[in-house]
Amino acid sequence: MQPPAHLLWMGSAVRYYAPVHQLFRNKGVRIALLVAVCGAVAVNFDKFAMLRSSATFAPAFILLFCGISGLLKTGAAKEWDKVGKEHLSHLLVNPIVYTVVMVCYWSAFAFGFAAYVGALKRINIVFALLLGWLVLGEVKVKKRWPGAIIMMVGAALLAL
């Protein structure tokens, strides 16, 4: 794949500039960067909330807020008619599983630094890639593995 004409003067070094180039060209990359920055800020508030309350209060409050918001949105849009019997099991099981995950995540703040917990949370990319490939049949997974490995190495280095 040829780099853009205005970058040809860089020669083979253009591949190192590609992420910066994509940052200005691709809206999805900008959104991903914004999410990463927000996540880095939010993990500190997560730890602060856990230290000031408990490992169950904050997740319960967040899930209650999201649940009520979802119910209000679904009721206002008159979407309850679209919910079939096959969806009801997901509507019951998913919140329970997600609650267990959130309580475990928030409990981890009691035993470690926010940076460690945040880094370990980010290695879920490996599981997301694997499940996306196996379950959803995603085809561009090979391009994502180097980034996932770098994230795992970074998390391992933080743990040292």
CB 62 within 8 A of CB 118: no
pLDDT digits (tens, 9 = 90+) for 11-40: 666 666 667 777 888 888 889 889 889 988
What pLDDT score was predicted for residue 11? 66
pTM (global) more than 0.95: no
Confidence (pLDDT) at 69: 92
Max CA distance (Å), the chain: 60
Q: Count Cα atoms within 13 angstroms, Cβ side, for 2.
A: 5
**pLDDT digit string (tens) for 138-158?**
888 887 888 888 888 887 787
Q: Record the tokens describing residue 17, joined without a space.
A: 């500039």
Dump pLDDT digits (tens) for 40-62: 898 888 888 888 888 888 888 88
d(CA 78, CA 80): 6
